[in-house]
Structure 1
Amino acid sequence: MELTRRDALAALAAVGATVGGGVLAGRHDPPRADAASDAGSGSAAEPTLSTDLLDLLDAAAEVVYPSGVDGRRTFVETYVLGRTENRPVYREGLQEAAAQLDAVARDWRGQPYADLDADVRDKLLRDLGVETAEPVADGTITERIRFYVVNDLLFAFYSSATGGRLVGIENPIGHPGGIESYQRASMSSSSTERSGGTNER
């Protein structure tokens, strides 16, 4: 099954993101990560996200999402750009958490997080304790990675009808029973689906 831009827009609606009306209606493409400032008007455009950051988030999504998901990059990029639009405090928190995860990967594994093999990325998150950490925006490194990276990616995934069906949730966020389904979701269950296993924690 394929995650689509429409799925990402549905996830943004579920989280209450106030993205431009044209984007939510699907009439325009979302802002690009490398969008330039509006030099003609003399005013800077909304601060954008680097390609490196989006690469890291896509790499994390590959770990926490089930295998066999097509369209992941477009889904992640659309969701993250919309999620951070007009939210400078959240955007800075996300950038800091991602930078900390990347720094750990370089220190422990000698490579950027996005360049590691998927299994190594998964193990690194587990070695950091992200699987069992509480999501806390201003907490420890592990808690911030859980909050800004893992939890938000999982929320986006489970908020879409496509993502919900992929992991056997019939009622994702925005549909009857969805919030209860998401509250039962975890990084470990997603990784189990990704690896084809059937055991639950």
Structure 2
Amino acid sequence: VHDSFFDLGGHSLLATRLISRIRAVLSVEISLRDLFDTPTVAELSHRVSNAGAARPVLRAGERPERLPLSFAQQRLWFLDQVEGPSATYNIPLAITLNGPLDIDALTSALDDVVARHEALRTVLPTAQGEPHQHILPTDHIRTDLPVVQTDPANLDEALTQAASRTFALDSQIPFRATLFALAETRHVLLIV
């Protein structure tokens, strides 16, 4: 009870898990700083007994059928209407993957990322001349991961071409992945 959590091998990740467990079991709110300041069970028990009640769990509220666009989405939609589709706002990320690659596992991981982030599942359709957000349900999302065979000499051009493809804001989610296979155990994953 008087040994320090950190002397016993505790570290910041375990501390975060401990704080979450205390919050869930005891329904009290303590901070990571509290654990660092009072690292023994005896000291922490005094802090816990004086701690406030845990914050209530956030719950999703009802959404209107048509969500208005954020300012950034309005700007992007307006430019798309005026100038036409453009890759100007694409943010490409190329990641080199060396070693054996399980493409099904990679596709599943990409699906998980898209499912977790609503912004990656949002399209901007128009109804009665007004754009709005439509967040696609997670069960409608499956990442298409084309595998393109290429050689290192042509990789830059292939990456540039793939990163330059535009999105149809009203019907395509703003997320695209392409896997470039350079060899059996050398790939480049492009995420746009």
User: Is the helix fraction higher in 1 or 2?
Assistant: 1
TM-score band, normalised by shorter chain = under 0.3
User: Is the strand fraction higher in 1 or 2?
Assistant: 2
> Radius of gyration: which is bigger?
2
TM-score, structure 2 normalization: 0.21
> Comparing both chains, which one has the higher relative contact order based on Cα–Cα distances under 8 Å and sequence gaps of 6 or more?
1
